[in-house]
Amino acid sequence: GAVVSQHPSWVICKSGTSVKIECRSLDFQATTMFWYRQFPKQSLMLMATSNEGSKATYEQGVEKDKFLINHASLTLSTLTVTSAHPEDSSFYICSAREGGLGDTGELFFGEGSRLTVL
């Protein structure tokens, strides 16, 4: 099946610093990528939807200036958590959809990135 790679898997940073998480589709072109956040014992929460070459669409309550999303190519999307604070500590997961005629609607998930802000 299709593979989505997410990096880094684990990151610890100091409060006030910025962290970038990468999401790559390795064997298909992802026209749409989704970024999710999951707090302990809670379900996945969609943060934003990004389409290649256009601005991301953020869900209500998600600060676009704090969570910068870039989807510059059909195989790479990045999420940058700017000026991270301890409350941003969470599990961040990306998923990708192929789009076009090959789109079955199936989402392919990255491995997730666990962010801990000290």
Indicate the residue among 6 and 25 with the shorter CB distance to other proteins: 6
d(CA 23, CA 12): 18
Closest distance of CB 98 from other proteins, Å: 12
Residues 39-98 that bind other proteins (CB under 8 A): 42-46, 49, 91, 93, 97
Residues 4-33 as x/- pattern, contact with other proteins by CB under 8 A: --x-------------------------x-
- 100 binds other proteins per the rule CB under 8 A: no
Question: With CB under 8 A as the contact rule, which of the stretches 18-26, 63-71, 80-88, 107-115 interacts with other proteins?
Answer: 107-115
- 112 binds other proteins per the rule CB under 8 A: yes
